[in-house]
Chain A
Amino acid sequence: MKNRFVSLWFRHLTTDRLTLRRPELQQLPFVLAAPVRGRMGITAANPLAEARGITAGTTVVDAKAIVPDLQVIDDIPGQRAKLLKALGEWCIRYSPLIAVDLPDGLILDVSGCAHLWGGERDYLKEIVTRLRSKGYDVRGAIADTVGTAWAVARFGRVKSIIGPGEQADALLSLPPVALRLETVTLERLQKLGFYSIRSFIGVRRSVLRRRFGQDFLLRLDQALGNEDEPLQLLHPVEPYHERLPCLEPIRTAAGIEIAIKALLEKLCKRLQGEGKGLRTAILRGYRIDGQMIQTDIGTNRASCHPDHLFKLFELKIPLLEPDLGIELFTLEAPKVEDVSPEQEAFWSPEGCGLTDVRLAQLLDKLANKVGAGNIHRYLPQERYWPEQSLKPAISLQDKPSASWRTGRPRPSLLLSKPERIEVTSLIPDYPPMLFIYKDQVHHIKKADGPERIEREWWLDEGPHRDYYQVEDQAGRRYWLFRSGHYSEEKSQWYIHGFFA
């Protein structure tokens, strides 16, 4: 699923807040001021003051000259961050992933949230009207990237919802300042006559990098979605991580077992509560000599059974070297997936199919010993070349997309590489009379064929194969083929398999 972000812009954050607390200020032009380089500088102005030409950044003295009845109120440092945090907490109702965007905004990761409010339009409208009814002058936008949402919330004039993948179009007409660039870069752009993003978006990257630096390109990429932008979330997603400090260093296998059990118990309890199961887990042991030892397990399907997971770790315990002793154990589950709720208590004793939990648990155990790469399940592949007529299945749940081909005989055992045989064949396109394989002469009594299998010429070149199913005097059945067309001297024959 594509990520979607909402950027909220509080145009008069601190002054709105003050107006809410002191309603008498509503009809008056007022500013907030804080000492800047030995003078009182304006940090925020309310809409009335702004209407009369006072903007943040001017000094109080200049502003008083323009508006003599201007109210000046001391700004409290740190107020903005506190206020935004409180607003962010309130916005948790709309999305669990919220980041404060200083000095005057919030970012909401709303991927998969909007449909709960009946679409993105209603969703954004709901957020903005609720905040406005509380008295905050707010603008919002939705886009695929934080950068675009930020830019459109502040500078967009046409629409506030940017559809998936439409970042570039939305940005074209906006000024460069919408890209959250540094002042120096903005000045340079201004000087060179780049008044809108449209004018430089097509310029070669190397040129842009030389003139404006790597940061400029990073911001551009973040807005376009070519680069990820990490958010500092108000409520970060807690990693699945458990610690177990030990009073005495652990040196024995029995001690490690107890530690693993305790950690799994805690972790699985949390996973069960959240309806999740782990796919991989890493156990780390911090030894008193400062070394760290670790081992990991993997499961074929998400599991939150402490007993099953312990069995997987049990096989790894002999590999851990406690040396002088382990004083701290940590257990981490980097890969966690939803588990489908099942009535696992009511296993049927009959028929353990591919979807059965017991089979998945067995395969976990085997995979941890022999390696997951050595466990295969095969599905048919729509290709005729025998070696390529099957492909490994990705998961146990994979269903074959086509049915297995049954029309032609296929040997029970297939040699991974066909082996050369000596033959005596008299008639072209007939099976040979006899062949010699491993110094043994086989007189062919019965034969089926030929079945011609062509190479996939678009993949590799070479001669086709003419396959024969043959039976010798003792009733042993083989799969032979001649490589290429018949010719008296150059025909090469191979054995490729053994029939039941």
Chain B
Amino acid sequence: MEQLKRDIISRLQKDILLRQGFNPPAAGVASVVGLGAVEAAFPNAVFPVGAIHEFLTSSREQAAASVGFMAGLISGLAKKGGACLWISVSGKLFPPSLTAFDVEPDQVIFIDVEREKDVLWAMEEALKCEGLAAVIAEVKNINFAQSRRLQLAVESSKVTGFLLRNDPRRLGTTTCVARWQITPMPSEPEDELPGVGFPRWQVDLLRVRNGSPGSWKLEWMEGRFVPVEEKMKLMGLPERQIA
């Protein structure tokens, strides 16, 4: 009896996921973004593409970290050869830095709009364009109705959108699939060399639709995300074994 109940519940949960647009991944398809353990937090344990992710940043340091983390995600999404759109009011991003995250800066088109209102309009238009790798928008705030419009746009086009919210004082409900917060962490020098190591972040997944929020420590190393614990383990082993 218990077993039967559990089966029914799990089947119903799968049904709900399907209805909400989370298709189970096709067998044998590797993850596009390579987030490793973080992806387990998402429904079906796969990073949802064709959805809106929002990133909360309260300082410029956090914004820089979020940009780096996003660039890492985009490098995976852009492998199919799509262009990226970066929409903002005041473009502070320095394109050459994207090369560090395996993104070709000339594949990114920057749109500097004058008014905050136009950012969301431009993002909605861009999200309707099928085949783009990603659309990134820097906004101060977004309300539920606005996020709903964006969600409707991505549902048909399957483009992945990233919202960089740099005024997270008023946090309302949105339709975004995930809410992230990326905070920089002290880096670990490589092989006892002096200087600054690879970028390392505290990745907080504050809210996931139909998933389980969590917190991880990630590092961007040689073109991929590496969980810090895993790296510690590697570091602990004798050098010959790593090689």
Task: Report which A residues bind B (CB closer than 8 A).
Answer: 347-354, 356, 358-359, 361-363, 365-366, 369-370, 374-380, 386, 389-390, 393, 398-400, 404-406, 409-416, 445-448, 469-471, 473-477, 497-500
Contact = CB atoms under 8 A, between A and B. Distances in A.
A377 B118 contact: no
Interface of B: 60-61, 63-65, 67-69, 71, 80-83, 91-97, 99-101, 104-114, 118, 121-122, 125-126, 128-133, 183-187, 189, 194-197, 199-201, 220
Given A376-B110, A414-B94, A447-B195, A476 B184 contact: yes
**Residue of B61, B121, B130 with most partner-chain A CB within 10 A:** B61
**Residue of B63, B83, B101 with most partner-chain A CB within 10 A:** B83
Contact of A416 (B71, B92, B95, B104): B92
A400 B106 CA distance: 8
Considering the complex of A and B, which 9 residue pairs feature the smallest CB-CB distances, nearest first? A500-B68, A352-B131, A498-B64, A414-B94, A475-B186, A351-B81, A448-B195, A476-B61, A351-B80
B202 to A, nearest CB: 8
Contact of B106 (A366, A374, A379, A415): A379
B128 to A, nearest CB: 8
A470 B196 contact: yes
A79 B105 CA distance: 68
B195 A351 contact: no
B220 A353 contact: no
Contacts of A398: 106
B184 A475 contact: yes
Given A369-B118, A416-B92, A404 B64 contact: no
A364 to B, nearest CB: 11
B82 A413 contact: no
Contacts of B186: 445-446, 471, 473-475
**Residue of A390, A411, A470 with most partner-chain B CB within 10 A:** A411
Contacts of B196: 409, 446-448, 469-471, 477, 499
B64 A353 contact: no
A425 B129 CA distance: 52
B184 A376 contact: no
A413 B184 contact: no
Nearest to A416: B92
Contact of B96 (A363, A399, A404, A469): A404
Given A362-B125, A375-B109, A474 B184 contact: yes
Contacts of A374: 111-114
A57 B122 CA distance: 75
A369 B106 CA distance: 23
A413 B92 CA distance: 5
B99 A352 contact: no
Given A378-B105, A413-B67, A414-B94, A370 B114 contact: yes
B114 to A, nearest CB: 7
A301 to B, nearest CB: 14
B195 A410 contact: no
A352 B160 CA distance: 13
B82 A377 contact: no
B83 A414 contact: no
Contact of A352 (B83, B92, B121): B83
B207 to A, nearest CB: 23
The A contact surface, by secondary structure, is mixed
Contacts of A409: 100, 196
Given A413-B92, A500-B184, 9 more contacts: A350-B82, A369-B118, A369-B121, A375-B112, A404-B99, A412-B67, A477-B64, A497-B64, A500-B201
Contact of A446 (B121, B130, B195, B199): B195
B94 A471 contact: no
**Residue of A378, A389, A409, A416 with most partner-chain B CB within 10 A:** A378
A378 B106 contact: yes
A446 B189 contact: yes
Contacts of A366: 111, 122, 125-126
Given A369-B118, A498-B64, A500-B65, A353 B83 contact: yes
Nearest to A362: B129
Nearest to A387: B94
15 contacts: A352-B133, A358-B129, A369-B121, A376-B112, A389-B96, A404-B105, A412-B64, A412-B67, A412-B94, A414-B94, A416-B92, A446-B189, A448-B195, A469-B195, A499-B68
Contacts of B61: 476-477, 498
A471 B187 contact: yes
A38 B96 CA distance: 86
B194 to A, nearest CB: 7
Contacts of B94: 386, 410-414, 497
A406 B96 CA distance: 8
Contacts of A393: 106
Contact of B64 (A365, A406, A469, A500): A500
A400 B108 CA distance: 13
A409 B132 CA distance: 28
A362 B126 contact: yes
B151 to A, nearest CB: 19
A376 B133 CA distance: 17
Contact of A365 (B68, B125, B199): B125
Nearest to A392: B110
B92 A406 contact: no
Contact of B93 (A356, A413, A471, A477): A413
Contacts of A446: 186-187, 189, 194-197
Contact of A375 (B111, B125, B133, B189): B111
A374 B115 CA distance: 12
Contacts of A400: 106
A434 to B, nearest CB: 16
